[in-house]
Structure 1
Amino acid sequence: MIDRHKKQIRLHGFNNLTKTLSFNIYDICYASQPEHREEYLAYIDEEYNADRLTNILTDVADIIGANILNVARQDYDPQGASVTILVSEEPVLTEEQLNTSARPGPLPADVVTHLDKSHLTVHTYPESHPDNGISTFRADIDVSTCGRISPLKALNYLIHCFDSDIVTLDYRVRGFTRDVKGKKHFIDHNITSIQDFIAPDTKRIYSMIDVNVYQEYIFHTKMLLKQFEIDNYLFGMGKSDYTENELIQIEKRLRKEMSEIFYGRNTGGL
């Protein structure tokens, strides 16, 4: 349980702690025909182009209380996008924004956001299996901050910005800062798991496992969508376009893809 009322540390000079939240977000579908796979990649490329990713990271900067200094973005051929935004802490932050408890924030293409001492990045990777019809979209997101602003405030917003079947999360606090008496502090907030900061509605729809290294302030959480409705994974064709046996085989392929991504290893078979 997080202590919301823990007395804040009075620091000497600037807070030098670096807090980094990293996402790998995956969307998976089945597209039986080559033209459907091409349509899926085109759909993803349009849905998560540099403009939309820029809007997402702009919202993130606002949520964590950062001021945008510069934006760089790029769409790629044949697909993919990147965005970089430089930001600093807001000239005047409210007590709400400065609260290092980093409790869950609001719900809701490649983008990178740079802060003067921090950065926000997003990169997209659409791809498809050449033989078995599986197509997978991956977005990599990094929110790295120094000082009092916390990337954890944007956690729930980012999860809900992407229609994700699988999410892997890494959070790490690096470096140290000093209090007014000169004592080093290697973390300035309470955390036992990234799950401490995930909204209840998200917890209800995902299965989650943790791998944490507490003494090094390294936290890792994997999330897998609980509900599986095959119609949500068919692109270009619907359930009525397949035989019952075909649907069984498609579901096996989809579940195998999800399992391999979630556990990070190949399982063989289909």
Structure 2
Amino acid sequence: MKLTSEQRVTLHGFNNLTKTLSFNMYDICYTKTKEEREAYLEYIDEQYNSDRLKRILQAVTDIIGAHVLNIAQQDYVPQGASVTFLVSEGPIVEVPTESYDESPGPLPESVVMQLDKSHITVHTYPEYHPDEGISTFRADIDVSTCGEISPLKALNYLIHSFDTDIMTLDYRVRGFTRDINGHKLFIDHDITSIQNYIPDKVKEMYDMIDVNVYQENIFHTKCKLRQFDLNNYLFGYTKDKLGPGEEKKITERLTTEMDEIFYGKNTSRGSINTD
């Protein structure tokens, strides 16, 4: 059911629906030696330290119109960081009709909404393959809101805030709210795919897969970069510095790593095992 300013369902009390966006991204790098791996992880740890992540989450709260109640942040040793925002109802104004549109959100412009009992979190996970060849940085962000707006309006900004090879996106609406006659509403806006909240220029860059369970209000989208330029995955040098045969070998290792993450399973002889 799509609600507009002309056809707004009058609710019995506060909108109790909980809407959660889980944004999971991966950045992959080839690190040939221990020194390269340590340098890459040090770079990632600085690039996405808790202060930087806090600024990203602050922009997200501006987009969804939340009021920050409390912030907790932590940089871990040897790598990684976490930030949690506890947020509540922001300034209440008339809800813009575009908040119900399946379209990308701002980058960022404030969208002021009614929210309560909500939180935004980010955790980072730098890791590497035992033989030093592949290093992978993962960030998980959850935006959970109660109220009018879908946190999907923050997705466009999140995508542009990270250097992303692979994205896994989940959106779910939980619980129910009631209209004035006591009729339960299990979702308060139309949605056919998370992809509709991603700009066309971004979608052109990725191969995308949807798995949606409409009757349960569960939506899932996976994205993997289409174009592969080896220079973007070497840390501190370019492919012209590689020896004979190295370029092919490294390309195969990187693309295998990306396929394994994208398809969620280990590969056999470098190809996707669909058994």
TM-score by length of 1: 0.92
Which segment is superposed worse, 142-151 or 54-63? 142-151
Cα pair distance change 1:98/1:88, threshold 3 Å: farther
Q: Using the alignment, how far apart are the partners of 1:122 and 1:105 within structure 2?
A: 19
Specify the SS of the correspondent of 2:11.
coil
Which segment is superposed worse, 82-91 or 37-46? 82-91
Tell whether the 8 Å contact from 1:31 to 1:236 is kept in structure 2 after alignment: no
Give the structure 2 partner of residue 127 of structure 1: 127
Tell whether the 8 Å contact from 2:65 to 2:91 is kept in structure 1 after alignment: no
Q: Using the alignment, how far apart are the partners of 2:122 and 2:171 within structure 1?
A: 16
| RMSD value, Cα | 1.9
Q: Using the alignment, how far apart are the partners of 1:12 and 1:102 within structure 2?
A: 26
Specify the SS of the correspondent of 1:265.
coil
Give the structure 2 partner of residue 112 of structure 1: none
Cα pair distance change 1:97/1:35, threshold 3 Å: farther
| Deviation for aligned residue 1:180 | 1.2
| Deviation for aligned residue 1:7 | 2.4
Specify the SS of the correspondent of 2:260.
helix
For residues 161-218 of structure 1, the C-alpha deviation after alignment (integer angstroms, 9 at most, x for no partner) is: 1000000000000100001111100000000111111111111111111001110000
| Deviation for aligned residue 1:100 | 3.6
Question: Given residue 219 of structure 2, which amino acid in structure 1 is its aligned partner?
Answer: F
Question: Where do residues 1-270 of structure 1 align in structure 2 (5 Å cutoff)?
Answer: 7-96=7-96, 99-101=99-101, 103-107=103-107, 116-131=116-131, 133-269=133-269
Tell whether the 8 Å contact from 1:22 to 1:140 is kept in structure 2 after alignment: yes
For residues 121-165 of structure 1, the C-alpha deviation after alignment (integer angstroms, 9 at most, x for no partner) is: 100000111215111000011001011132011011001110000
Q: Using the alignment, how far apart are the partners of 2:5 and 2:91 within structure 1?
A: 25
Tell whether the 8 Å contact from 2:34 to 2:132 is kept in structure 1 after alignment: no
Q: Using the alignment, how far apart are the partners of 1:30 and 1:139 within structure 2?
A: 18
Give percent identity, aligned residues only: 65
Structure 2 residue runs of 5 or longer lacking an equivalent are: 109-114, 271-275
Q: Using the alignment, how far apart are the partners of 1:243 and 1:186 within structure 2?
A: 59
Question: Given residue 121 of structure 1, which amino acid in structure 2 is its aligned partner?
Answer: T
Cα pair distance change 1:54/1:97, threshold 3 Å: farther
Question: Given residue 222 of structure 2, which amino acid in structure 1 is its aligned partner?
Answer: K
For residues 88-119 of structure 1, the C-alpha deviation after alignment (integer angstroms, 9 at most, x for no partner) is: 121333533993446311247xxxxxx85111
| Deviation for aligned residue 1:260 | 0.2
Q: Using the alignment, how far apart are the partners of 1:143 and 1:6 within structure 2?
A: 28
Tell whether the 8 Å contact from 2:116 to 2:147 is kept in structure 1 after alignment: no
Specify the SS of the correspondent of 1:208.
strand
How many pairs were matched up?
Answer: 263
Structure 1 residue runs of 5 or longer lacking an equivalent are: 109-114
